[in-house]
């Protein structure tokens, strides 16, 4: 395949799948700018290896994104943290009860460790199986299941409305 054909095929891939990849990147990072950087890096690496990709190019790009995200988190946690003897007090926000559960979940998701967040995004945002998630992250299935279980438990602690919504049976609508 010539360089022009590779470029054309890759361009078509980016035009077709970049929106879905961007949503996944944003779910991981919680920041538009960080998501754009993560996606750009993944697409660059995908393009450089385009001729060698067997199977799903999107899966290849996603795997790069998830690995780069976890790797960047590992580098960041080595930075020094500042500690304070007393935490500032915050007055409760009168409008807090109106915040949609989705926004609370997003904020809570961003507090989770990178690997836990990656597992939850893959399992519940991307709707992948435990096996598919394990393959993408290069982790054993048991680790993925454990990270998902602990992550969901932590989300339930952080967002009680999420736990309440899960406890209520959903109605099945028949057509």
Question: pLDDT of the chain along its 175 residues, tens only?
Answer: 678 888 999 999 999 999 999 999 998 888 899 999 999 999 999 999 999 988 889 989 998 999 898 887 555 555 455 555 665 565 555 455 545 777 888 888 889 998 999 999 889 888 889 998 998 888 899 999 999 999 999 988 988 887 666 655 544 444 3
- Sequential DSSP letters for 88-153: PP-PPPTTGGGS-HHHHHHHHHHHS-HHHHHHHIIIIIS---HHHHHHHHT--HHHHHHHHHHHHH
CA distance 144 to 115: 9
CA dist list (Å): 35 to 39, 42, 58, 105, 140: 6, 11, 16, 18, 26
Ramachandran angles phi, psi of 14, nearest 5°: -65, -45
One fold for 7-78 and 99-168: no
- Sequential DSSP letters for 19-79: HHHHHHHHHHHS-HHHHHHHHHHHHHHHHHTGGG--S-HHHHHHHHHHHHHHHHHHHHTTS
Fold of 7-78: Rna Polymerase Sigma Factor; Chain: A (1.10.1740)
Cα 166 to its chain centre, rounded Å, is 21
Q: What is the Cβ-side half-sphere exposure of residue 107, based on CA atoms within 13 angstroms?
A: 10
CB 126 within 8 A of CB 135: no
CA dihedral 80, 111, 44, 131 (to 10 degrees): 120
Q: Where are the domains of the chain?
A: 7-78, 99-168
pTM listed for this prediction: 0.59
Q: Which CATH class is domain 99-168?
A: mainly alpha
């Amino acid at each position: 395949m010539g360089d022009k054909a590779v470029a054309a095929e890759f361009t078509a891939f980016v035009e077709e799948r970049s929106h879905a990849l961007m949503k996944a990147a944003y779910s991981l990072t919680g920041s538009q700018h960080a998501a754009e950087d993560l996606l750009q890096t993944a697409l660059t690496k995908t393009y450089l290896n385009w001729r060698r990709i067997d199977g799903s190019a999107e899966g290849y790009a996603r795997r790069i994104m998830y690995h780069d995200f976890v790797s960047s988190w590992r580098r960041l946690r080595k930075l020094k943290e500042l500690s304070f003897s007393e935490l500032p007090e915050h007055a409760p926000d009168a409008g807090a009860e109106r915040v949609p559960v989705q926004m609370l979940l997003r904020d809570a998701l961003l507090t989770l460790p990178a690997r836990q967040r990656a597992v939850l995004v893959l399992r519940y945002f991307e709707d992948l199986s435990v096996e598919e998630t394990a393959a993408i992250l290069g982790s054993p299935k048991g680790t993925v299941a454990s990270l998902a279980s602990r992550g969901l438990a932590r989300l339930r602690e952080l967002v009680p409305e999420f736990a309440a919504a899960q406890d209520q049976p959903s109605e099945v609508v028949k057509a």
